[in-house]
């Protein structure tokens, strides 16, 4: 039975990696083909805004999910895997911050109000909690590192909060896709199909990342 679960864990992480590729492809097709591309500096606020879904979905959620799965998908000693986990989460944090900055800049250029939707409230909560989780995790588990007994007692809470923040980010992204769909009236169009497919695959990515945490490591 244990061996069966081990094989299943490998399949779970492999499928999650494939979802990473599929979601990235869909987001790039959406923003580059349907939405005028992306830019940090542009007279067109739409191009700046497009950095927001690009960085939040690919950088914050997908890379963050890969960081969570690192303990089950990256072979090697625990210290090496911990470094990969830390670096991927750092990339996710930087991407999330830049994604937040992009949406503020674009709305300022367009003369639109900030922080008035539940999507924006949850998104800001997710990035703030993620930053706090990263700082606490860095000092408790990496450098300088707490006492072993303290780390042992903190680890379940670290894992729990990590998954809460990850699922909060995914649900916020889903909410953002729905809001975008409604704001632009994307009904029965190719772009609507892209957005709906992205939302569905994001949900599946969250499911498989969650399963990877539950199942045992395979090597």
- Please provide the DSSP assignment of 129-157 as one string: HHHHHHHHHIIIIISS---HHHHHHHHHH
pLDDT for 198 equals 97
As a whole number of Å, the end-to-end CA separation of the chain is 16
Is 168 in contact with 147 (CB distance < 8 Å)? no
Lookup: tokens for 8: 């299943």
CATH topology of domain 2-214: 1.20.120
Domain edges within the chain: 2-214
pLDDT above 90 (res 3): no
- Spatial separation of the C-alpha atoms in residues 89 and 63, rounded to whole Å: 7
Lookup: tokens for 162: 């990590």
- At CA 60, angle to CA 171 and CA 120, rounded to 5? 50
Question: Tokens 């864990």 identify what position?
Answer: 9
pLDDT tens digits for range 33-89: 999 999 988 999 999 999 999 999 999 999 999 999 998 888 888 889 999 999 999
Which among 18, 16, 52 is positioned nearest to 177, based on CA atoms? Answer: 52
pLDDT for 197 equals 96
Is 86 in contact with 142 (CB distance < 8 Å)? yes
- Spatial separation of the C-alpha atoms in residues 72 and 131, rounded to whole Å: 23
pLDDT above 70 (res 7): no
DSSP secondary structure letter of residue 72: H
pLDDT tens digits for range 77-129: 888 999 999 999 999 999 999 999 999 999 999 899 999 999 999 999 999 99
- At CA 15, angle to CA 13 and CA 21, rounded to 5? 110
The burial of 24, by beta-carbon neighbours within 10 Å (0-12 exposed, 13-18 middle, 19 or more buried), is given as middle
């Amino acid at each position: 039975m244990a061996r069966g679960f081990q094989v299943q864990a490998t399949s779970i992480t492999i499928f999650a990696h494939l979802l990473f590729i599929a979601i990235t492809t869909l987001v790039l097709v959406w923003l580059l083909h349907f939405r005028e591309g992306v830019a940090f500096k542009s007279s067109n606020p739409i191009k700046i805004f497009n950095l927001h879904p690009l960085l939040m979905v690919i950088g914050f959620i997908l890379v963050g999910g890969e960081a969570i799965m690192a303990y089950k998908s990256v072979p090697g000693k625990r210290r090496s895997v911990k470094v990969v986990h830390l670096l991927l989460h750092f990339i996710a944090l930087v991407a999330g911050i830049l994604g937040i900055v992009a949406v503020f800049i674009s709305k300022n250029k367009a003369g639109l109000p900030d922080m008035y939707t539940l999507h924006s409230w949850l998104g800001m909560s997710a990035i703030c909690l993620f930053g706090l989780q990263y700082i606490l995790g860095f000092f408790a588990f990496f450098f300088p590192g707490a006492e072993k007994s303290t780390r042992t007692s903190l680890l379940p809470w670290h894992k729990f909060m990590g998954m809460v923040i990850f699922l909060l980010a995914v649900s916020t992204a889903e909410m953002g896709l729905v809001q975008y769909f409604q704001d632009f009236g994307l009904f029965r169009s190719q772009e609507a199909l892209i957005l709906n497919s992205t939302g569905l695959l994001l949900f599946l990515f969250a499911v498989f990342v969650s399963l990877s945490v539950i199942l045992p490591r395979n090597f």
